[in-house]
Chains A and B, each alone.
Chain A
Amino acid sequence: MAVNDKAMFKILEKKMLNPTICKMVVEAPRIAKAALPGQFLIVRADEPGERIPLTISDYDRAAGTVTIVIQPIGASTRSMVDDFQAGDSFADVAGPLGNPSEFVRMSPEELKAQKVVFIAGGLGTAPVYPQAKWLHEHGVPVDVIIGARTKDLLIYEDEFKSVCDNLYMCTDDGSYGFQGVGTARLEALVAEGKSYTQAVAIGPMIMMKFSVLTCKKLGIPIWVSMNTLMVDGTGMCGACRLSVGGVTKFACVDGPEFDGYLVDFDEAMRRSAQYKAEEGLANGR
């Protein structure tokens, strides 16, 4: 297997968070030093592997580590989860890429005025963590809604408890917490009298699309983190292009976060499936 003990991107910790989602803490001192909430990195596990963009779920500057959360979708992510254990190393980890979350760039005055709600779904739950943590540390009120199909698929509940004011767990089947999707929970919260200056949705594109529709209805501005196809992640290939307010943007250098009201989700979802046929072939490799 692809164990290259000379590489510096050693996997220090590996943990399955649910039956499919895997968390890894990886040694990457340069990235750990530079990373900010909202940014992503690119992992190439081994020589035959693809360059996979993954949002940074946490970073520890002192330890020189970054945390990533992976869900097998194609052949390369499947191999990352199945074939790599703590002690092994990834061939390449590059980053941090993309722009930090809008909050990081705000002035203290702007930050003070914020009251933020995060809507997290599936794998997108993990990258919400560093943002919530950062805001919490900066004294901004933060509510987090985490949704999943069923109880066993919910992740990061314990981690979030210490970095937000209110944590709302939701399951589609009602097996844990609120029964229904995250957007329904948000509507219920607003109906109860809660108010927010900003929402942020991170998760599957379809979930972000509906989060935007709900927020539009509620009059809450919303940012979404676009997990598009990518090759290099530095602006070279254009695979990640998407329409934002009718203008073509590159998720890697212009994003990954965009004003949700302006994103053409239908196009983005269609483009994400672009290599589905070819990936079916690669899965056999």
Chain B
Amino acid sequence: MVDRIPRVPVREQDPKVRAHNFEEVCYGYNQEEAQLEASRCLHCKNPRCVTACPVGIKIPDFIERVAAGDFAGAAAKIAEDSSLPAVCGRVCPQESQCEGSCVLGVKFEPVAIGKLERFVADWTFAQVGGVKPSETHATLGNVRGGTVSEANGGVEQQSCETVEEGLHPSHRKVAIIGSGPAGLACAYDLAKLGYDVTIFEALHKPGGVLEYGIPEFRLPKDKVLKRELQDVLAVGVKIETDVIIGRTVTIDSLMDKEGFEAVFVGTGAGLPKFMGIPGENLNGVFSANEFLTRNNLMKAFRDDYRTPIHAGKKVCVVGGGNVAMDAARTALRLGADTTIVYRRTEVELPARKEEVHHAKEEGIDFQMLTNPVEIMGDERGWVRALKCVRMELGEPDESGRRSPVVIPGSEFEIPTETVIMALGTSPNPLISRTTPGLEVTRRGGLVADESGATTRPGVFAGGDAVTGAATVILAMGAGRKAAAAIDEYLKNK
């Protein structure tokens, strides 16, 4: 086996230039590049990449079509399993999923599956399914108060024959709570089965973490997210924004008074964690959630929006996940000299490799084996420095990872204006507290079985709301599983 063609490199914005703008970092493949890269696939009989994909995209099949120049066919193949290919092609941790199990990767570089998926999705936008940004805006602008006209986008609904007894699915209402990846995936599948699906979103824009969490330079909102949302609307899904389930209306009321027969909870993990060290309430200490929400959802980086954001000249970001990378690279783009502080080594960084690589290219300073112990303030109550200790790796803990231990006497200060805490998030308790019969785990996640069924009949859940903070694609996988379970539940009801 000889890999005669090396993995086709993807064109990217120059790091020196992109460090000062919010344009997308990666340009993606063009047709020739995509076809060449696609030709590298070995078409394994038992494709390990498919098994490693949480939504089971038929990877060799779509890649075969890309190689043959049948991009529409490739898009249709992906659409069988995923409603968000342009998103996943950009944000999935491919190195630990599809590409991580690619046979080519054993001796050579794995096929660039993520970049091919992205190419197919972007090609589709530009061609057949391409919705003009203006049209997208008009439709999304109406997405509230159930005023969306849900033109059925020509997607064929399941006929009556497949439902043996009872009502046609189009007369059966399903509520989806949260319009992040789990909710969107669940809604997309259920609407394709013909159900009357309404998504309730607490914020003013749909997309969940894709909208408020992931920055523009990694996931362009107008170019990518809006269009993928448009695809979900096109199969008949309605989205009602500004509805906080548990406050505006409860699950009980949706089911008892508004006629929803099943509910899917995909509310994610939105509550920020803090370290509990002295000085965390000083001015200039922010959760990554606040920092990113101000910048992404509220567009603080744009002069035509009124949202204020504070970065200053020097920012320290605490944490090592994708959110930490996003916050650091956002701070950098807002003009701050930025340092990432992480208590383990680079090997343990939970972020996607590509993000770490990009962050380094852009000039972000990485302080590994470093743990904050206190945030120091000035006389006005603003941050002036982050006091840290150096760490070394000790014995492996129960997760198998070697736990960092403090090196005695290693205290030192990093002078900084801003500290951003990116330590992970936990599920919001609003729904579990206001829905009788919904059990939660010790960590605050909803108790749900493999199919997504919770302890309350008719209520399903999936994504970060169940597992705690994980990835877009795992949430989508959970949403799809729950959609199948909800279909089953409603058929038997």
Q: Which residues does A use to contact B, with CB under 8 Å?
A: 4, 6-8, 30-31, 33-34, 44, 47-51, 74-76, 79, 91-97, 231-232, 234-239, 241-243, 248, 253, 267, 270-271, 273-275, 277-279, 281-282, 285
Contact across chains for B248 and A95 when beta carbons are under 8 A apart: yes
B241 contacts the other chain (Cβ, under 8 Å)? yes
Instruction: A91 to B306: give the CA distance in the assembly, Å.
Output: 15
Instruction: A274 to B308: give the CA distance in the assembly, Å.
Output: 10
B428 contacts the other chain (Cβ, under 8 Å)? yes
Across the A-B interface, give the 3 residue pairs with the lowest CB-CB distance, nearest first. Answer: A278-B308, A237-B290, A8-B145
Instruction: A231 to B242: give the CA distance in the assembly, Å.
Output: 13
Instruction: A241 to B212: give the CA distance in the assembly, Å.
Output: 20
Instruction: A277 to B310: give the CA distance in the assembly, Å.
Output: 9
Contact across chains for A234 and B270 when beta carbons are under 8 A apart: yes
Q: Which residues does B use to contact A, with CB under 8 Å?
A: 141-142, 144-145, 147, 202-204, 212, 241-244, 247-249, 270-272, 274, 280-281, 283-284, 286-287, 289-290, 293-294, 298-299, 303-310, 380-381, 428, 430
Least Cβ–Cβ distance between B446 and chain A, in angstroms: 16
Instruction: List, sorted by A's number, 28 A–B pairs whose CB atoms are closer than 8 Å.
Output: A6-B142, A8-B144, A8-B145, A47-B305, A50-B306, A51-B204, A91-B204, A93-B242, A95-B247, A96-B247, A96-B248, A97-B244, A231-B290, A231-B293, A232-B293, A234-B430, A235-B271, A236-B212, A236-B289, A236-B293, A238-B272, A238-B286, A238-B289, A248-B274, A271-B281, A273-B283, A274-B283, A274-B284
Instruction: A132 to B284: give the CA distance in the assembly, Å.
Output: 38
Contact across chains for B430 and A285 when beta carbons are under 8 A apart: no
Contacts of B299 in A (CB 8 A): 48
Contact across chains for B304 and A48 when beta carbons are under 8 A apart: yes
Contacts of B309 in A (CB 8 A): 278
Least Cβ–Cβ distance between A245 and chain B, in angstroms: 14
Most chain A CB within a 10 A radius of its CB, from B290, B308, B309, B310: B308
Given contacts A76-B306, A271-B283, A236 and B270 within 8 Å (CB-CB): yes
Instruction: A33 to B250: give the CA distance in the assembly, Å.
Output: 12
Least Cβ–Cβ distance between B315 and chain A, in angstroms: 15
Contact across chains for A34 and B248 when beta carbons are under 8 A apart: yes
Contacts of B270 in A (CB 8 A): 234-236
Contacts of B428 in A (CB 8 A): 234-236
Given contacts A50-B307, A234-B202, A94 and B244 within 8 Å (CB-CB): yes
Contacts of A31 in B (CB 8 A): 248
Closest to A276 in B: B308
Least Cβ–Cβ distance between B367 and chain A, in angstroms: 23
